Amino acid sequence: MKLILFILFMLSSSLNPILSQPNLLERAKNNPSEGSKLCKKFKDYNAENKSATSDKATKFVSKQNNLSMVNAEFYSIYVIGLYCPEIY
């Protein structure tokens, strides 16, 4: 029983960074110019055979937008889905 409670606690605390910025996806949706700039950067990463969700790209998005690594990854994926689906 203690193991199950521990696992549930760990799962809930791992979701906290994601839930701490509820407007994160709205920000991506409402800033197409920022999305376009990120698409260009992601294309540069792709040209280097790096994924747009690689650690290097995620660190860039994190620093650029002052986000945690988890939020930066979600933000990147959302931007890719909205503005640049040809990116990998």
Per-residue pLDDT tens digits for 13-71: 555 555 445 688 888 899 999 999 999 999 999 999 999 999 999 999 999 999 999 99
Contact 21, 67 (CB under 8 A): yes
CA angle 34–45–49, rounded 5-degree value = 155
CA pseudo-torsion sign 7, 8, 11, 16:
negative
CA pseudo-torsion sign 65, 69, 71, 74:
positive
Q: Which of 54, 87, 88 is closest to 73 using CA atoms?
A: 54
Q: Which pLDDT belongs to residue 19?
A: 43
pTM above 0.75, yes or no: no
